[in-house]
């Protein structure tokens, strides 16, 4: 199966704080730096990441805790613009709560079912409110059929009855945070009906582009194609005023306790 290689361009219309706050996703306009990306050594990060998750076919699904390894220092510069924008949106200082590279295979288990991210951070990491932002840095050109992250615009303001009624969930095992059998998966019929009202938007981008998505926005991703490469660096920032009220039940590489402002 060949990829739909529609030319990718940065999305100026989605690059304002208002757009992000209304839609739950957005873009950070950055100069494309292909030289940087051709020089950056992803295999070094893969080799040293504190925690790696594999797909059934033996290929990598995710590397967690990448901001904790030395080579990450070579990457920091590409995030400066995004970090400035996030501080403006959150009106606060920020620190890194979680970091990872997510990959995408073409096999059926290479999915992330419909979910929001904040329930993990609230229930397991004890973070009070969703004053957080996810940044995606595209490490490959990501097209509509690469298995992009897909969001339902505006869903960060819409919660289902069963979610509002939910008591605090106990942590069971780490696989529920990282696999296709994901904790906090949302009811499909309700998601589908919200998606038919609000639409679905795919976070596609060219190598070096940067997207943002809200911790409460409903999102998923499907398997990619046979010749897929879809590596996304995803960094989750938390506002410094929103530190966990208790230590996380998950390891450091899922929930950092280094609250040093960036
Ligand atoms: C993905 O990498 O496709 C999903 C990322 C996420 O659910 O946060
Ligand atoms: Mn997610």
Look up the CATH number of the domain holding residue 74.
Answer: 2.60.120.620
* Residue 229 structure tokens: 């490469």
Ligand 1 atom closest to 117 (CA): 8
Q: Which residues partner with 96 through β-bridges?
A: 237
Could you tell me if residue 210 is inside a domain? yes
Q: Which residue has the tokens 């920020």?
A: 94
- For ligand 1, atom 5, the nearest C-alpha belongs to 149
Lookup: tokens for 167: 């008591």
> Residues lining ligand 2 (ion), CB within 5 A?
117
Is residue 5 a part of any domain in this protein? no
Does residue 179 lie in a domain region? yes
Predicted TM-score (pTM) of this structure: 0.95
Nearest-atom index, ligand 1, CA of 115: 7
Owning domain of residue 202: 12-242
The answer to the question of residue 190 being in a domain is yes
Q: Is residue 188 part of a domain?
A: yes
Stretch (H or E) spanning 98? strand 94-102
Q: Report residue 9 as tokens.
A: 């361009």
Closest CA to 203 of 2, 14, 1: 14
Is 168 inside any structural domain? yes
| Atom 2 (ligand 1) nearest CA | 102
- Going residue by residue through the chain, which has 262 residues, state the pLDDT in tens, using 9 for 90 and above: 445 677 677 778 889 999 999 999 999 998 766 656 666 678 888 999 999 999 999 999 999 999 999 888 888 888 999 999 999 999 999 999 999 999 999 999 999 999 999 999 999 999 999 999 999 999 999 999 999 999 999 999 999 998 987 888 889 899 999 999 999 999 999 999 999 999 999 999 998 899 999 999 999 999 999 888 899 999 999 999 999 999 999 999 999 999 999 9
Judge if the beta carbon of residue 117 lies within 6 A of ligand 1: yes
Is the residue at 52 inside a domain? yes
SS3 content of the chain, % helix, strand, coil (to 5): 30, 20, 50
Within a domain: 254: no
Look up residue 16 and give its DSSP letter: S
Q: How far is the CA of 73 from the centre of ligand 1 (A)?
A: 23
C-alpha to C-alpha distances, 150 to 15, 145, 204, 207, 251, nearest whole angstrom: 18, 11, 9, 18, 28
Please choose, from the candidates 95, 66, 101, 84, the residue with its C-alpha nearest in 3D space to the C-alpha of residue 28: 84
Number of domains making up the chain = 1
Residue 112 Cβ contacting ligand 1 at under 6 Å: yes
Phi (first) and psi of residue 164, to 5 degrees: -65, -30
């Amino acid at each position: 199966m060949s990829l739909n290689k529609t030319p990718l361009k940065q999305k100026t219309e989605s690059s304002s704080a208002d757009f992000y706050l209304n839609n739950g996703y957005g873009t950070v306009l950055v100069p494309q730096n292909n030289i940087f990306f051709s020089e950056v050594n992803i295999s070094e990060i893969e080799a040293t990441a504190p925690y790696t998750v594999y797909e059934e076919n033996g290929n990598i699904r995710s590397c967690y805790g990448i901001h904790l390894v030395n080579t990450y220092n070579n990457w920091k510069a590409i995030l400066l613009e995004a970090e400035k924008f996030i501080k403006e949106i959150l009106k606060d200082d920020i620190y890194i709560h979680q970091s990872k590279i997510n990959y995408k295979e073409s096999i059926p288990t290479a999915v992330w079912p419909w979910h929001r991210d904040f329930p993990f951070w609230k229930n397991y990491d004890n973070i009070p409110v969703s004053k957080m932002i996810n940044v995606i840095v595209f490490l490959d050109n990501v097209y509509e059929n690469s298995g992009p992250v897909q969001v339902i615009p505006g869903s960060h303001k819409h919660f289902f009855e069963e979610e509002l009624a939910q008591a605090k969930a106990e942590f069971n095992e780490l696989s529920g945070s990282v696999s296709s059998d994901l904790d906090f998966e949302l009811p499909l019929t309700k998601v589908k009906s919200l998606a038919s009202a609000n639409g679905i938007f795919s976070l596609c981008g060219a190598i070096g582009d940067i997207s943002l998505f809200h911790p409460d926005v409903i999102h998923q991703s499907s398997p990619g194609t046979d010749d897929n490469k879809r590596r996304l660096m995803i960094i989750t920032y938390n506002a410094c005023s929103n530190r966990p009220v208790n230590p996380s039940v998950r390891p450091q590489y899922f929930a950092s306790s280094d609250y040093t402002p960036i």
